[in-house]
Amino acid sequence: MSTTIQDVARHAGVSVSTVSNVLNGRTDRMRPETLARVQAAIAALQFRPSKLAQQLKTGQTPLLGLLVPSLTNPMYGYMAREIEAYAQQQYGYRLLIGSTYRDRQKEQAFFDDLLAHGVRRVIVISSLADERHFESAVERGMAVVSYDRGATPGKRSRVWHVMPDNFEAARLATRHLVERGHRRLAFATVAGMTMSRSAKIDGFHAAAEEAGLRGEAEVLDGGALDEYGDAMIAEVGRATAQRLAAMDPRPTGVVALNDLMAIGLMAGLREAGLEVPRDISVVGMDGIYLGALSNPALSTVQLPVPEMTRAMVDRAMQPEAPNDTTQIDQVFAPERLVQRESVAAPPARQRAAKATNDEEKTAP
């Protein structure tokens, strides 16, 4: 038979309400010796409070919901790990995860299920243009944090928004190619426009225009994700490589939508008989660990994932939802550009440098 709160109270010689106060952290006015007796009784009887009883009392359960497009994308797995560790350490909450594949109906169904099971706090990685179902969940008592998209301009919202500066990340990646001498540029993306993709394309164009290369900067729209599934974005990159290889003139520097697409792009270029970075340089965005293991190791724009995930959890734990659009956007700048082996000077410069070196070697 399991130990009850009444057993603890009898063992400690106190009332049930005193034990309840200890369990719920209400000990400010409690005498130290009383607190010590209750804690000793809890330890001696190995008492564990009933989670079900707590949920029935409060209508809530200490679980944080996390909805992602697909956990097979290492970026979302990395974020989930950081969210779970911080939520548990800082707030005593555990994580409940679901994959939505960027489908509004699936997101709505998850909201309904989470609410029905007493989950009142959720982080959503979606980037869908329409977030009215988020607002509906808030009205039903849920704290909602939306990652990777901002509030709709001019509209009031009770949803928290946390996002990376996608514009600046793409501009930083593009500038890196320009600084290495690339004059023909491409941005490899997927079909369908979300807020984050649009911001990245704008950042790509801005950097190209700053360098006087707007006419030499092209957006390559790969296959639709519903053709491959969100988990298979690397395959979109692989398919895009075939188009890239056939272009004439061919871009010498490519910015990929994210690291996973960049890795697929490099695999596709190898299959087309091209070498990275000898023939084409590639830069990703995110900073997933697979980038360092790819061949060649991927240059990328590192996002500040630990800082962003902590901000999302803190927002989800706020006692009140925001009520003004001026309060709700928290934007994080890219952490840094990680330079590895996938970027070099364009082929023409490489040939010129080799010719110069050869002349120097043969000079008397």
For 14, residues 6+ apart whose C-beta sits below 8 A from its C-beta are: 34, 37, 38
Residue 55 lies in a domain: no
Residues 21 and 89 in one domain: no
Residues 201 and 343 in one domain: yes
Residue 364 lies in a domain: no
Taking only Cα atoms into account, the Rg of the chain, rounded to an integer number of angstroms, comes to: 26
Residues 253 and 277 in one domain: yes
CA angle 349, 260, 197 (to 5 degrees): 90
* Alpha carbons 29 and 12: distance in angstroms, whole number: 18
Residue 56 lies in a domain: no
Residues 184 and 194 in one domain: yes
Residue showing tokens 């911080």: 86
Residues 226 and 325 in one domain: no
Residues 150 and 208 in one domain: no
* Alpha carbons 321 and 159: distance in angstroms, whole number: 7
pLDDT at 323: 65
For 105, phi and psi rounded to 5 degrees? -65, -35
Residue 37 lies in a domain: yes
pLDDT at 117: 83
pLDDT at 357: 57
* Alpha carbons 307 and 316: distance in angstroms, whole number: 14
* Alpha carbons 224 and 153: distance in angstroms, whole number: 27
DSSP conformation class of 158: -
Q: What is the largest CA-CA distance in the chain?
A: 100
pLDDT at 362: 56
Residues 139 and 170 in one domain: no
Work out whether the CA dihedral 55, 58, 59, 62 comes out positive or negative. negative
Q: How many domains does the chain have?
A: 3
Burial of 31 (C-beta count, 10 Å sphere; 0-12/13-18/19+): exposed
Residues 200 and 345 in one domain: yes
Residue 362 lies in a domain: no
State the residue range of the domain holding 140: 63-164+306-332
Residue 225 lies in a domain: yes
**pTM, whole model, 2 decimals?**
0.79
Residue 58 lies in a domain: no
CATH number where 109 lies? 3.40.50.2300
For 174, phi and psi rounded to 5 degrees? -70, -40
Residues 324 and 340 in one domain: no
338 forms beta bridges with 300
> Tens of pLDDT along the chain (364 residues)?
577 888 889 999 999 889 888 877 778 888 989 999 999 998 898 887 665 455 545 555 789 999 998 888 899 999 999 999 999 999 889 999 998 888 888 899 999 999 888 889 999 997 676 788 888 888 888 999 999 877 776 677 788 889 999 999 999 999 999 999 999 999 999 887 778 889 999 999 999 999 999 888 999 987 666 544 555 788 899 999 999 999 999 999 999 999 999 999 999 999 999 999 999 999 999 999 999 999 999 999 999 999 999 999 999 998 776 765 545 578 899 989 999 999 999 987 666 655 555 455 555 5
Residues 184 and 250 in one domain: yes
